[in-house]
Structure 1
Amino acid sequence: MAGGGIADGGPRKRAHLYTHKFTPYCAVNCFFGSLGGFLFGYNLRVSDGVTSRDDFLQEFFPTVLERKNMHLKETDYCKFHDQVLTLFTSSLYFSALFTTFFASYLTRKKGRKASIIVAAHGFLVGAILSTCAKSIATLIIARILLGVGIGFGNQAIPLYLSEMAPAKTRGAVNQLFQLTTCAGILIASLMNYSTETIYPGGWRISMGFAAFPAMIMLKGGILCAETPNSLVEQGWLEEARRVLENVRGTKNVDAEFEDLKDASEQARAITSPFRTLLQRKYTPQLVIGALGIPAFQQLTGNNSILFLAPVIFQSLGFGNNAALFLSFITIGALLVATVISMFLVDKFGRRKFFMEAGFEMICCMICIAVVLALEFGHGKELSKGVSTFLVVVIFLFVLAYGRSWGPLGWLVPSELFPLEIRSAGQSIVVCVNMIFTALVAQLFLVSLCHLKYGIFLLFGGLIVVMSCFIFFLLPETKQVPIEEIYLLFEDHWFWKKIVRTDQDLKHQMGSQQTDQDLEHQMECQQLFNIPNKID
């Protein structure tokens, strides 16, 4: 059972019996299941590109355009500081964090597919409305609908991929979500760059393009299979076994299927998964998976650099076209890093990627802060050499993030939760992630304006904290079957003191007492020469 322990002899005895082969059936389902990641990345990136364009600003934010033109030939940290403009971006995240709780119920009761289909509808309608928008209010409504797509998609897709994937390749398969997210960001940058010369209204083409992948996602969501875990949880045992055999490429799935049924029995006994998540034995999953990692993923500062790259590069003195091109380079680094992580994360493990990349990110943040402190501000333009150095350092930072906190920020939480709290836990993950994404997006430009280069030192300090968090609290989860990961916390030097429930303590004390009674009985038998009748 997902809530059991080592002593019950349950799942741990069956793990070595798991078998699988690569199957096109699994690959196709995972591909269509991951398309929500593409739309997540595309809608995050495309809006941040259009906010630096003159025709968009002229139509919706003329005061920002006026301020931008005043500083056209000088550098200024505060050039793009406008809270309504920032709300255009962050409304997406606020919508996502509210809708993820509705997605949790749908994902648990009706399956992962249902949430993926709802997400596709949100992306489709939001993209169409964005293209037709004539007022700020319409733009915000469109962003809210896109946020519905993100809320449902990000809740279901990481679970879908983790449950479909075999244990030995779960890290690589789950990172399809991050890979498609990066692809979406990359295509959005290309669209922004290619429509830059279309004036006015080129931004509408960029925003409306998202409707095409949304239609593909909707069609794929309808056709793809439900996960075996979800089918068992809903009581469709025959269908679950059939899907499990197809995705594993073998009929020999008895061991894994029995684990799924055990986990499902535990899950069906839970009537309030959110309240259950607060129980003592789930504290590690709550602290690490639901709160720590999704919050820290945004506090690395990467998304601020990545999604606001055109604005940042313009603030640092680059032209509009140059800013879009340079941001395209950083996104390419993110895509390359994700591919590296996909191929190596199941070999080297999650912890090593977190720690090694964290050290690189700290060094990069310090370098950026030092250069800006010495060379930037007060109308002083950056030299070509300094500008090139900054681009290289940002490239290296994104490369480090892209193989650690980027993909692992979604992979590790989706692994940690047992089936009975999995949908609820993933909702908290999305909610916390969106809260911190929205806060960082809403506050980054104003922080850049007031803290100047100090904002990068702040991010560097936060990366030190989160690296310590990973080092001390996260056990290695590579190649561990998803329904057995809870066992890692029972052996962990810190968490084992917390997850041990009162029932476990009574059981342990009872076992100790039984052993003492047995020893006492044997002594009495030997003393009085009583025949041994103990089995």
Structure 2
Amino acid sequence: MGVFSMSPKRAYNWYISLVAASCMVLYGYDASVYNSVLGSKNWLAYFNNPSDELTGAVNTAYTVGAVVSGFFFGGPVADYFGRRVGMATGSVFVILATFLQTFAPRGNIGCFIAGRVLVGIGQGLALTAGSIYIGELAPIEIRGKIMSFWQMFYSVGSFIAYWINYGCTKNKTKLGDWDWKMVVIFQLLMPVLIVTQVFFLPESPRWYCKKGKIDRARASLSRVRDSDQEVEDETLMIREALEFEKEAISSSYSALWKDRSVRKRLLLAFVINAGQQITGQGTLNTYSTIIYKKVFKSSSTIALINALNATFGILFTANATWTVDRFGRKFLLIVGAIGMGICMIIVAAVETSTPVLADGSKSQPVGISIVFLLFLFIFFYKPSWGATIWIWTSEVFSMNVRAQAVGMASQTQNVANAIVQQFFPTFLKNCGFYAFYMFAGINFLLALFVYFFIPETRQTRLEEMDIKFGGVNHVVKGGDLMGVEDSHHADLDQTLGDLHKQPHAEQKEVAA
């Protein structure tokens, strides 16, 4: 279906998905906020010039909040209260945290750190619920395309934060302490928009089915599917998958260790989500200001580079919208990792083999070359390990464990990022750009890991994903338990309690 022939319901499906994807703006903005304030002398003075260890602790505080929230609360909140409540609750935490950070008493960095913890808790809730929501509402044929906007909105968050920061650095004399407070308080923008819109969206039909609210599930699907037949087909498939998961495995989170197929997926998801952050992207996003200080002396120049990086990040992520469903998840991850590895090798070689000027900076041609290479790194990262990791993670788990598994897997990003970020400032200080050779090696290893261990998941229904990981088809098995021969079609003239039974060629092919 072309853009200009898009049906009203398909357009509405895009709208609700983009509202949910706005949760990622929270993540992108906050990840860029701390990087931005590190370049503010007023922020440093406001909190009595914190040591390198304390500077790292401020960032780690966010990570601790996000990991605890994602591992222990994100899944249960999304499963018990619904995906919409998960997104809204996370947004409320971010709103409270924004005020706490902006108006922290002078010299009281503990208050600022508390705000960072709350932001982490909020994002652990919102990111878990938001990514699942998109995957569960999006039609199979455009699921990857819609989900690619998840990562794009991370770039949108960075874009907003860095351009606000750039504007503040140009007026820091007039603004005083508000040169960093302005950057922090603008974080209110997106969570307020989410809270005011999210409860007007349809709830996930899969969540409704899990709660036994079949009529509400149909009502939700009817708002985003073009025909009654599609609604009945999908509702039935969801019910069949849930029936099998409840009877043959477990309807609780115990399936995470009881089901061999789920265990395998969780381990793979842990590895690639951690891998996303140790590609070098997490470090660049948090410490690019410190990295660029080794090349440029002007804080305004560095702020402009960060802002342009975020701008190009949006454009680069857009590549995922036309590649992820065309070439597949696996292809993008392999090409992206190889490209990032090559960029890191060249960046390290250029910086370490060129002379340092008297003022401690590099010559303009060298500086431009390094910026270009780091932008090229983002070109490879954004549509692959940026967007595709989230797409893959949100779609591979069965309904009984999806919320908890996605919450846990996505937070391994923060675990890995926290480990790297704690030692990276010291590593960079002692070793300079030789540190980037480490990231190059990691990227090449990640490409090999994907090639050998990650299966392709495009154009696979959520309820039938298990067959990609050595499991059984939950729709077929659930249909057998319910006594349904035709696992894809319901008779629209009867209730689901009196299903029409016909053999279905497509289902037999899948089962085979």
Q: TM-score, normalised by structure 1?
A: 0.82
- After superposition, the Cα gap between the structure-2 partners of 1:278 and 1:390, relative to the gap in structure 1 and judged at 3 Å, is farther
Report the Cα distance in structure 1 between the residues aligned to 2:54 and 2:330, rounded to whole angstroms.
39
The answer as to 2:242 corresponding to 1:264 is: yes
* 2:317 is the alignment partner of 1:338: yes
How do residues 503-518 of structure 1 correspond to structure 2 at under 5 angstroms?
none
2 CA distance for matches of 1:276 and 1:396? 38
Q: Bigger relative contact order, structure 1 or 2, given CA contacts below 8 A and separation 6+?
A: 1
Q: Which amino acid aligns with 2:13?
A: C
1:36 to 23, 27, 34: 23
Q: Which amino acid aligns with 2:149?
A: L
CA distance in 1, matches of 2:382, 2:251: 38
Q: Which of 85, 97, 104 is residue 55 of structure 2 equivalent to?
A: 85
In structure 2, relative to structure 1, the CA distance for the partners of 1:274 and 1:179 (3 Å cut) is farther
Q: 1:345-393: per-residue Cα shift (whole Å, max 9, x none)?
A: 1111111111222221111000011112212669653111111110110
Report what 2:210 is aligned to. 233
The answer on whether the counterparts of 2:251 and 2:400 sit within 8 Å (CA) in structure 1 is: no
Go from structure 1 to structure 2 and tell me whether the alpha carbon gap of 1:206 and 1:381 turns closer, same or farther (over 3 Å shift). Answer: closer
1:61·1:85 contact (CA, 8 Å) conserved in 2? no
In 2 relative to 1, CA 279–61 (structure 1 residues): closer, same or farther, beyond 3 Å?
A: farther
Correspondence 1:155-170 to 2 at 5 A: 155-170=128-143
Identity among equivalent positions (%) equals 23
Q: CA deviation at 1:204?
A: 0.6
Please state if 1:110 is matched with 2:81.
yes
SS, match of residue 30 in structure 1: helix
* Rg comparison, structure with higher value: 1
SS at match of 1:413: helix
Alpha-carbon separation, structure 1, partners of 2:146 and 2:322: 10
Task: Tell me which amino acid in the other structure corresponds to 1:318.
Answer: K
Deviates more, 1:37-46 or 1:310-319: 310-319
Code of the residue aligned with 2:214 in structure 1: it is L
Q: Secondary structure at the match of 1:264?
A: helix
1:354 aligned counterpart, secondary structure: helix
Give the CA deviation at 1:311.
Answer: 2.1
Cα drift, residue 417 of structure 1 = 0.5
Task: Provide the residue aligned with 1:360 in structure 2.
Answer: 339
CA contact (8 A) 1:357 1:400 kept: yes
- Matched with 2:102 is 131
1:449-488 aligned at under 5 Å gives the runs 449-488=429-468
- Could you say which residue in structure 2 is the equivalent of 1:410? 390
Q: 8 Å contact 2:26–2:187 — kept in the other structure?
A: yes
Conserved 8 A contact 2:255-2:400: no
Are the equivalent residues in 2 in contact too, given 1:23–1:249 (CA < 8 A)?
yes
In structure 1, the residue matched to 2:178 is 201
Q: Please name the residue that 1:212 is paired with.
A: 189
| Aligned with residue 309 of structure 1, among 262, 279, 288 | 288
1:401, distance to aligned residue in structure 2 (A): 0.1
2:278 aligned with 1:299, yes or no? yes
1:267 deviates by 4.4
The amino acid that maps onto 1:310 is T
Moved more, 204-213 or 276-285: 276-285
Q: Is the 8 A contact 1:277 1:425 kept in 2?
A: no
Tell whether the 8 Å contact from 2:101 to 2:112 is kept in structure 1 after alignment: yes
* Equivalent of 2:119 in 146, 152, 155: 146
Residue from 401, 409, 425 that aligns with 2:381: 401
Q: Using the TM superposition, give the Cα deviation of residue 116 of structure 1 relative to its aligned residue in structure 2, in angstroms.
A: 0.7
Which amino acid is the alignment partner of residue 94 of structure 1?
A: V
Which residue does 2:35 correspond to in 1?
48
Identify if the C-alpha distance between structure 1 residues 278 and 150 changes in structure 2 by more than 3 Å, giving closer, same or farther: farther
How many Å apart are 1:274 and its aligned residue? 4.7
Q: 1:409, 1:456 → 2: CA distance?
A: 22
Cα 1:407–1:424 change in 2 (3 A) is same
Could you tell which deviates more after superposition, 177-186 or 258-267? Answer: 258-267
SS of the residue 1:347 aligns to: coil
- For 2:404, the equivalent position in structure 1 comes to 424
Q: Aligned equivalents of 1:274 and 1:191: distance in 2? A: 46
CA distance in 1: counterparts of 2:146 and 2:8, whole angstroms: 14
Aligned with residue 224 of structure 1, among 176, 182, 201 = 201
Rounded to whole Å, the distance in 1 between the matches of 2:336 and 2:150 is 20
Q: Distance in 2 between matches of 1:395 and 1:190?
A: 17
Q: Distance in 1 between matches of 2:128 and 2:370?
A: 35
Matched with 1:94 is 64
In structure 1, C-alpha distance between the alignment counterparts of 2:122 and 2:16, rounded to whole Å: 19
Structure 1 window deviating more from structure 2 (348-357 vs 462-471): it is: 348-357
Say which is worse superposed, 427-436 or 402-411, in terms of deviation: 427-436
Deviation at 1:234, TM superposition (A): 1.1
TM-score (norm 2): 0.85
| Counterpart contact for 2:91–2:123, Cα < 8 Å | no
Structure 1 segments unaligned to the other structure (5+ residues): 1-19, 65-81, 491-495, 505-535
Aligned mates of 2:184, 2:303 — CA distance in 1: 16
Number of residue pairs aligned between Structure 1 and Structure 2: 457
Alignment partners' CA distance in 1, 2:297 and 2:139: 47
Superposed displacement of residue 284, structure 1: 2.6
Structure 1 position 122 matched with structure 2 position 102: no
d(CA) in 1 for partners of 2:246, 2:469:
23
Query: For the structure 1 residues 271 and 480, does the alpha-carbon distance in structure 2 shift closer, same or farther, using more than 3 Å as the test?
Result: closer
Between the aligned partners of 1:140 and 1:278, the Cα distance in structure 2 is: 39
The ranges of structure 1 where at least 4 consecutive aligned residues each deviate by more than 6 angstroms after the TM superposition are: none
SS at match of 1:248: coil
Question: Per the alignment, do residues 479 and 418 of structure 1 end up closer, same or farther by CA in structure 2, a change over 3 Å counting?
Answer: same
Give the conservation status (yes or no) of the 8 Å contact 2:261–2:469. Answer: no
Aligned residue for 1:326? 305
User: How far, CA to CA, are the matches of 1:84 and 1:228 in structure 2?
Assistant: 45
For the 8 Å contact 2:209–2:217, the answer to whether it is kept is yes
Residue of structure 2 equivalent to 1:7:
none
The AA in structure 2 aligned to 1:279 is D
